[in-house]
Structure 1
Amino acid sequence: MALFLVTGATAGFGEAITEAAIAAGHRVIAAGRREDRLHALAGRLGEAVLPLVLDVSDAGAVAALPDSLPEGWREIDVLVNNAGLARGLGPAHEVDLADWDLMVATNVTGLIHLTRAILPGMVARNRGHVVNLGSIAGTYPYPGGNVYGATKAFVRQFSLNLRADLIGTKLRVTDIEPGLSGGSEFSQVRFGDEAKAKAVYEGTDPLTPADIAEAVLWAVSQPGRVNINRIEMMPVCQASAALAVHRT
């Protein structure tokens, strides 16, 4: 039985990963910003879940986290850096800089600060697995992807470099990179408009949070000698497209 710390556990991927980990017999520190949802999750899944109110962009709270956890919940085996978001889909010259700053603060700074906070304990115990939630947006550019795609490219490269730093230890690092995914608040947060969010998925059969959770649990369940570097996932209704060409 492993102890997971899952960020962004109040909805979507994080909630599904928490549910899958509990179903597999693990314990989970479910972290997120919305206390009511965390307690509802713990109430539904039982004592194997420890609800933890945490904003990963709060550097002080993240740094204090390892020592603030209760006894019996400090030796984290699997860190799932799931908290992340996209804001806006406009061209770079028109975006609100606050949206860019928020994506960097959450998708990059929050992820690396939490990893740095948890990693020393894993190294000292010589066991652990860091699972980062990236995106195919870090590989395949698209109009309006600008900083969101750049943050996910960072996640991919950070994951690979982290594994390079950990050579000689038994620690593992995996980057999960989903494509078009429904059943989460991602598009609602991105557009701030329910109609626009629903339009993203019209006529498609997208990945689900359960699909992502299954990939995470599969990577974690591999024999200790196996490190899954990256998992790139797309629904069958999606594929990479030809390069854009503007003609006059």
Structure 2
Amino acid sequence: MLTLTQVLNKSAARLSGLHPAVLAAATALIERSYACGVPILITQGLRTIAEQDALYAQGRTKAGAVVTNARGGYSYHNYGLAVDFALLLPNGSSVSWDMNRDGDHDGTADWLEVVQQAKAIGFEWGGDWTSFKDYPHFQMSFGLRLADLRTGKKPAAAAVEAVYERMNQKEVQAVKGQMNVAVKVNGKKITEGCLANGVTHVPVRSVAEALGARVVYNFATQTVEITTADQKGGSV
């Protein structure tokens, strides 16, 4: 299992150039998603005007499918106010954009868990847009339109402070309600979980497989089924 430090390091290069408040929010999103059992990778942060124009040309004057309706200067990425993400798979080198994936087998799609965390931090989600939906996209506009940003306007100090306050309130609540714990089987650490309000939450697959059981998620009944060795003929 990847550690939080490893997961953070994988996104570090793509966080460069972001507005400081967006950088803090993106880092918090990685941390909170990880605590939910969903490691993520930030796949895009700051995008230059030239990079945006090249992306806009894809599917128009260049080969490939159309991936954006925004020309250079018409995306919050161009001002360090947006990030894109993908689900980081267990091998630590592959990612997924499968919005139905439930890698932590908790009955909730991993993608939705990340979106919930992002909105709690204060991000706007591209999946809520009515025209061109952008499901991997999160942004913070700070009340500014793209037309404002193109004229050189910067986020107001009060708007930036509101983002930090929102994150700090969430962190205080998290510290009061939960703490990270190591999960060991026969003295060997197998995974990490969290203790929240007196209840310990751990990835069921890691624990079950360490005990020689098999875990299957039944999509039809939305049930996590654990089969012990004595019930499956002693074979895993």
Normalising by structure 2, we get a TM-score of 0.29
- Higher helix share goes to which structure? 1
Structure number, greater radius of gyration: 2
- Higher strand share goes to which structure? 2
Greater RCO structure (CA 8 Å; 6+ sep): 1
Normalising by structure 1, we get a TM-score of 0.28
